[in-house]
Amino acid sequence: MFKKKMITLIAAAACLLAVTAGCSGKNEGSSPSPSAGASQPSKSSAQPSNSPAEGKADPLGKYDPPIEVTAVRQVNSALKFENGETIQDNAWTQHYANDLGIKLKYLWVVDNTQFEQKLNLMLASGELADIMPVPGVQMRQMNDAGQLEDLTEALDKYGSETTKAFMMKDGGTALNSATFKGKLVGLPLNPGSTDSAPLLWVRKDWLKKLNLPEPQTMEDVFKIAEAFATQDPDGNNKKDTYGLAVAKELYSDYGDLTGIFNGFHAYPTIWVKDASGNLVYGSIQPEMKQALAKLQELYKKGVIDREFGVKNHDALIQDFNAGKVGMYYGLHYSPLLFPDAKKKDPNLDLQAYRLPSIDGQPAKPQTKFNVAEYYVVRKGMTHPEAVVKLMNTYLEPRSREAFPVEKYAIKGDIEKWQYALVKGSNPTQNLDVYAKVTEAFKTNDTSKLDEHTPEPNTYKIVKSYYDGDVNGWGYAMIFGERGAQGILYDYNKNNGYQPTEFISAPSSIMAEKQATLSKLELETFTKIIMGESSVDTFDDFVANWKKLGGDEVTKEVADWKASK
Amino acid sequence: MNIQLSWSRRLFIVINYAFLIGLAATCLFPLIHVLAISFSSSTAATSGMVKLWPVDFTFASYEFILHKKEFIRSFEVTLLRTPLGFAVNMLLTVLCAYPLSKEQREFRLRTTYAWYFILTILFSGGLIPWYMTVKTTGLLNTIWALIIPGAVPVFNVILMLNFFRGLPKDIEESAFLDGAGHWTVLWRMYVPLSLPVIATVSLFTLVGHWNAWFDGLVLMNFPEKYPLSTYLQLMVANSSSLNFSGQSLFELIAVSQRTARAAQIFLGALPILLVYPFLQKYFVKGIVLGSVKS
């Protein structure tokens, strides 16, 4: 049972994410080259010597004779293989070699949790690979050290229609974040920001049991939380339930506080515009103080778990499975964290809600800039356009006959799409999938689902849940009729988000100070909520934050803005 | 032999036993808990119902692991690494400790050499020089990268050296008088007489090699070559990663692999646990008592 469930879920999750191009590409009509406007950089000495004649650049052209390209990469340790395939030799590497003439050779491969360490070691030892997927901080460092090749022309000339369309789907913000002084140095992998918005999740079966209304305002939230904590919603005559689940991380995908802060119009951890238009750090704004005061009150009343300061996200998941949690703030995919809960308690009825607001103003869920990875090319590589070709071939919509799903995308719980070195992503994929799946349910017509996207599979899983298969529960919570993506879709349509205004890879000062400042923030807020410090310590925190490097970071952000 | 114990003495014994049993229990409980989880169903484990006894007893997670290629492969790496590393370590430890245990008049540069070794305990070059050294010597990505850089465990050398110094000089001198050389003295007298310290050092070395994960992670280029501890470390560390990127939704599912993880931890720890009882009998003191009559 355990295995079967795992397989279904993994398959489901992977299919959803398996990027298989060809979405209804409604880019803003024009698809300008990303370098348009910027002065064309002078050709570096390392331009491809044997590049085809001008205008004949083929986005999927084969190198003849084949070239060897070195790379490094991260791999999740849970990734599976079959038939003797390995990360170094599989359907994708063979496809690269046979159809593109690119022989891929990995210098090293490491688990994703350790990737940065290994990458830093490589940077220190000075022997870089040709193509490297790196986080933003390292991209900036490498660029500052002059180690990266300019990709402006490569993308312009070799980028396929699809690749360019996807790059512009977010208005080009991700590309901008990889452009320094008019030079594009990395191809961003942008999963989109809408999925990072927090939502309110409530157990509707508990609401019904205690005769409570659905949450519309913040007052409702407080009332529900108190009732959940004190009126024994699970009916076991024990006071073992929490009003509001909070993980000790405070900002998390489940057991989160960002959503409640957003209800107070406070936006922790992101950069927002103040009244005079300057960029300021959200966590030190006065609105935070009110929210913290309220949280302290809730904690005092016993609505928040007494032990939340030591309960991490994982422990809190156990509590949800055990039926102790009735309300929490969390991301759209949070139901996938508790695949066992619905099986254990068939009455469980979880529901996502828009963020309630403390006053008449609607609350805006905050979103972050979500590009975790850029594909960069070592300075001096003879074929910098190879990276663009690799992305083209990943995104190219192809017939299922020539490129069978079982060989390139997914087979059972074996996620073959992950084998590809360079991936692409549609920043609004989940919203698109939601729209199409909902439409299909409404019209009972599945013919409009695009087979190059996760749409058909998502439809299938959600439908299986409606037909009684409990394994599809998590997916139905996200993409189903009352699903979380529906709310995100609405927010997106009505411009309801509060995105971070600092759209860039973190600067070096920021990367250096971040750990200290975040720790200070987390500790202060935890102490305030637990009543160990008075709410007024928030003012000291603001002063400390500025002193410990916050001012420098703020200045850097201002400089960044001025340079845009 | 009916000795009347005083009340205070009895009280002491009771409290002493209670304290020691409590101490032992705190060491045992986590292990039993992991064992119970590994035999429980996933639903029970993820809702935190399992304490010290399995709930919904099942072998499913063990079945799952024994079919898992990665686990078996890293087990093999560890099975190669541990004996190999053990042999190299022990040989070099004994060979270093013997000359250093001599007096200054027998071995003039003794102090210089001793400091040469001790310096490496006090100062280390740091991660990057370490990595670069291994890389430039061409050891990177081979099994030897896990063995050569730590071939001389200086701490163990000091332990053994001190034990050697505690052996009565007279035994050694009588052997020399009978015509034995240093090799004979070392292998025929010192080593057999030093079983307690050798057992201790063996245990340190075995456990050290079995548990070392960081070197495997940094010095091996592909996951196929990771030793077991590195593999386990990643399994466990991975599950609590909160890094959200749209590409890795599926990682979340790993959280419900709690039972499989527990089973792997247990299987990983089992062999080295079994070593302890076998070494126990060597932890006997006073082996050389009475060997010298004066």
Residue A261 in tokens:
């802060």
- Using pLDDT thresholds of 50, 70 and 90, give the confidence band for residue B137: very high
Q: What is the pLDDT of residues B21-47, one digit of tens each?
A: 999 999 889 888 888 888 887 777 777
pLDDT the model gives residue B247: 37
Distance CA A334, CA A327 (A): 12
Neighbours of A144 (CB within 10 A): 12
Question: Around A505, how many Cα atoms within 13 Å sit in the side-chain half-sphere?
Answer: 27
Distance CA A446, CA A455 (A): 9
Whether residue A94 is predicted with pLDDT greater than 90 in this model: the reply is yes
**Taking CB atoms and an 8 Å limit, are B48 and A318 in contact across chains?**
yes
Look up the ipTM and state it: 0.72
Partners of residue A374 on adjacent β-strands:
A134, A188
pLDDT the model gives residue B249: 44
Rg (CA), chain B: 25
pLDDT the model gives residue B280: 75
Cβ atoms A211, A384 nearer than 8 A: no
Task: List chain A residues with CB under 8 Å of B259.
Answer: 2
Chain B interface test: which of A116, A254, A321, A370 (most B C-beta within 10 Å): A321
Task: List chain A residues with CB under 8 Å of B243.
Answer: 112, 372
Whether residue B1 is predicted with pLDDT greater than 70 in this model: the reply is no
**Taking CB atoms and an 8 Å limit, are A313 and B240 in contact across chains?**
yes
- Using pLDDT thresholds of 50, 70 and 90, give the confidence band for residue B119: very high
Cβ atoms A11, A410 nearer than 8 A: yes
Distance from CA of A17 to the nearest CA of B (A): 6
A145-154, A374-383, B46-55, B102-111, range with the lowest pLDDT: B46-55
What are the distances in angstroms from CA A31 to CA A24, A25, A160? 15, 11, 11
Neighbours of A522 (CB within 10 A): 15
Distance from CA of A116 to the nearest CA of B (A): 11
Task: List chain A residues with CB under 8 Å of B242.
Answer: 249, 252-253, 313
pLDDT the model gives residue A25: 32
Give the alpha-carbon dihedral of A34, A38, A39, A40, to 10 degrees: -10
Residue A312 in 3-state DSSP? coil
B18: buried, middle or exposed (CB in 10 Å: 19+, 13-18, 0-12)?
exposed
Chain A interface test: which of B127, B213, B249, B255 (most A C-beta within 10 Å): B249
User: Do A412 and A527 have their domain in common?
Assistant: no
Cβ atoms A19, A396 nearer than 8 A: no
**Taking CB atoms and an 8 Å limit, are A340 and B47 in contact across chains?**
yes
A259-273, A444-458, A531-545, range with the lowest pLDDT: A444-458
pLDDT the model gives residue A447: 85
- Using pLDDT thresholds of 50, 70 and 90, give the confidence band for residue A72: very high
pLDDT the model gives residue B276: 80
Q: Within a domain: residue A51?
A: no
- Among A25, A29, A39, which Cα is nearest to A153's? A39
Partners of residue A106 on adjacent β-strands:
A71
Q: Within a domain: residue A347?
A: yes
Q: Give the DSSP H or E segment for A121.
A: helix A115-125
pLDDT the model gives residue B71: 83
The total number of residues written for chain B in this structure: 294
Domain range for residue A494? Answer: 429-499
Q: Before A65, cis peptide (omega within 30)?
A: yes
Task: List chain B residues with CB under 8 Å of A319.
Answer: 48
Distance from CA of A483 to the nearest CA of B (A): 17
Whether residue A40 is predicted with pLDDT greater than 60 in this model: the reply is no
Q: Does A321 touch chain B (CB under 8 A)?
A: yes
User: What single DSSP character describes residue A195?
Assistant: G
Task: List chain B residues with CB under 8 Å of A86.
Answer: 224
- B50 vs A495 pLDDT, higher one: A495
Distance CA B37, CA B30 (A): 11
Averaging pLDDT over each range in A196-205, A502-511, B240-249, which range is the top one?
Answer: A196-205
Q: Nearest 5 degrees, angle CA A116-CA B251-CA A430?
A: 105
pLDDT the model gives residue A181: 86
A304-318, A330-344, A350-364, B277-291, range with the lowest pLDDT: B277-291
A558 Cβ neighbours under 8 A, 6+ residues apart: A278, A279
Q: What is the pLDDT of residues A390-411, one digit of tens each?
A: 999 998 888 778 888 888 887 7
User: Do A307 and A326 have their domain in common?
Assistant: yes
Residue B29 in tokens:
């409980």
Whether residue A297 is predicted with pLDDT greater than 90 in this model: the reply is yes
**Taking CB atoms and an 8 Å limit, are A112 and B238 in contact across chains?**
yes
Q: Give the DSSP H or E segment for A203.
A: strand A199-203
Q: Give the DSSP H or E segment for A131.
A: strand A131-134
- Among A170, A175, A299, which Cα is nearest to A242's? A299
Q: Does A484 touch chain B (CB under 8 A)?
A: no
Q: What is the pLDDT of residues B247-265, one digit of tens each?
A: 344 444 444 467 777 887 8
* Tally of domains within chain A: 3
Residue A308 in tokens:
């939340």
Task: List chain A residues with CB under 8 Å of B248.
Answer: 17, 76, 112
Q: Within a domain: residue A488?
A: yes
A107-116, A166-175, A555-564, B54-63, range with the lowest pLDDT: B54-63
Task: List chain B residues with CB under 8 Å of A76.
Answer: 238, 248, 251
User: Do A378 and A474 have their domain in common?
Assistant: no
Whether residue B245 is predicted with pLDDT greater than 70 in this model: the reply is no
A103-107, A370-374, A375-379, range with the lowest pLDDT: A370-374
Q: Within a domain: residue A20?
A: no
User: Do A164 and A262 have their domain in common?
Assistant: no
- Among A152, A217, A212, A229, which Cα is nearest to A185's? A152
pLDDT the model gives residue B292: 61
Q: Nearest by CB to B235, which of A77, A110, A125? A: A77
**Taking CB atoms and an 8 Å limit, are A322 and B70 in contact across chains?**
no
**Taking CB atoms and an 8 Å limit, are A77 and B70 in contact across chains?**
yes
User: Do A474 and A539 have their domain in common?
Assistant: no
Residue A347 in tokens:
């009455």
What are the distances in angstroms from CA B168 to CA B161, B187, B200? 13, 16, 20
Whether residue B160 is predicted with pLDDT greater than 70 in this model: the reply is yes
- Using pLDDT thresholds of 50, 70 and 90, give the confidence band for residue A124: confident
User: Do A355 and A210 have their domain in common?
Assistant: yes
Q: Nearest by CB to B217, which of A86, A114, A192? A: A114
B123 Cβ neighbours under 8 A, 6+ residues apart: none
Residue A28 in tokens:
């803003």
Residue A159 in 3-state DSSP? coil
A6-10, A279-283, B227-231, range with the lowest pLDDT: A6-10
Percent of residues, chain A, with pLDDT higher than 70: 90
Whether residue A429 is predicted with pLDDT greater than 70 in this model: the reply is yes
A403 Cβ neighbours under 8 A, 6+ residues apart: none
User: Do A157 and A86 have their domain in common?
Assistant: yes
A327 Cβ neighbours under 8 A, 6+ residues apart: A200, A201, A202, A203, A221, A224, A225, A228, A243, A244, A245
Residue B54 in tokens:
């399995």
User: Do A114 and A236 have their domain in common?
Assistant: no
Q: How far is C-alpha A80 from the geometric centre of its chain's CA atoms?
A: 23
Distance from CA of B218 to the nearest CA of A (A): 7
Could you tell me where the beta strands, DSSP code E, fall in A204-332?
254-256, 271-273, 279-281, 327-330
- A8 vs B69 pLDDT, higher one: B69
Task: List chain A residues with CB under 8 Å of B246.
Answer: 17, 191-192, 195, 370, 425, 429-430
Whether residue A458 is predicted with pLDDT greater than 80 in this model: the reply is yes
Q: Does A253 touch chain B (CB under 8 A)?
A: yes
Q: Nearest by CB to A76, which of B242, B244, B251? A: B251
User: Do A377 and A309 have their domain in common?
Assistant: no
User: Do A184 and A291 have their domain in common?
Assistant: no
pLDDT the model gives residue B291: 57
Task: List chain B residues with CB under 8 Å of A191.
Answer: 245-247
Distance CA A531, CA A301 (A): 11
Domain spans of chain B, in order of start: 7-58, 63-280
Distance CA B143, CA B88 (A): 13
pLDDT the model gives residue A563: 78
pLDDT the model gives residue A103: 94
User: Do A61 and A171 have their domain in common?
Assistant: yes
- Using pLDDT thresholds of 50, 70 and 90, give the confidence band for residue B237: low
- Using pLDDT thresholds of 50, 70 and 90, give the confidence band for residue A266: very high
pTM confidence score: 0.76
Averaging pLDDT over each range in A14-28, B60-74, B175-189, which range is the top one?
Answer: B175-189
**Helix pair angle (A286-300, A537-545), 10° resolution:** 140
A195: buried, middle or exposed (CB in 10 Å: 19+, 13-18, 0-12)?
buried
- B280 vs A476 pLDDT, higher one: A476
Tell me how many helices (H) and strands (E) chain B has. Answer: 14, 0
**Taking CB atoms and an 8 Å limit, are A125 and B222 in contact across chains?**
no
Distance from CA of B259 to the nearest CA of A (A): 10
Chain A interface test: which of B135, B247, B255 (most A C-beta within 10 Å): B247
Averaging pLDDT over each range in A109-113, A217-221, A449-453, A500-504, which range is the top one?
Answer: A217-221
pLDDT the model gives residue B24: 92
pLDDT the model gives residue A212: 93
Distance from CA of A372 to the nearest CA of B (A): 7
pLDDT the model gives residue A33: 36
- Among B207, B105, B221, B83, which Cα is nearest to B156's? B207
pLDDT the model gives residue A528: 95
Cβ atoms B13, B20 nearer than 8 A: no
- Among A366, A11, A352, which Cα is nearest to A195's? A366
- Among A451, A459, A493, which Cα is nearest to A478's? A459
Whether residue A216 is predicted with pLDDT greater than 80 in this model: the reply is yes
Residue B137 in 3-state DSSP? coil
- Cα end-to-end distance, chain B, whole Å: 36
pLDDT the model gives residue A422: 92
Search chain B and give the residue with CA nearest A7: B253
pLDDT the model gives residue B2: 62
Q: Within a domain: residue A4?
A: no
Average pLDDT of span A224-243: 90
Search chain A and give the residue with CA nearest B220: A108
User: Do A254 and A230 have their domain in common?
Assistant: yes
B190: buried, middle or exposed (CB in 10 Å: 19+, 13-18, 0-12)?
buried
Q: Nearest by CB to B246, which of A110, A191, A312? A: A191
Chain A interface test: which of B63, B256, B257, B261 (most A C-beta within 10 Å): B256
Whether residue B87 is predicted with pLDDT greater than 80 in this model: the reply is yes
**Taking CB atoms and an 8 Å limit, are B240 and A16 in contact across chains?**
no
- Using pLDDT thresholds of 50, 70 and 90, give the confidence band for residue A14: very low
Task: List chain A residues with CB under 8 Å of B218.
Answer: 117-118, 121
**B63-280 homologous superfamily:** MetI-like (1.10.3720.10)
- Among B87, B167, B152, which Cα is nearest to B119's? B152
State the count of interchain CB pairs (< 8 A) between A and B: 150
B288 Cβ neighbours under 8 A, 6+ residues apart: B167, B168, B171, B193
- Using pLDDT thresholds of 50, 70 and 90, give the confidence band for residue B101: very high
Task: List chain A residues with CB under 8 Å of B127.
Answer: 121
Q: Nearest by CB to A125, which of B135, B243, B257? A: B135
pLDDT the model gives residue A13: 42
Distance from CA of A229 to the nearest CA of B (A): 19
Q: Within a domain: residue A284?
A: yes
Residue B190 in 3-state DSSP? helix
Search chain A and give the residue with CA nearest B235: A77
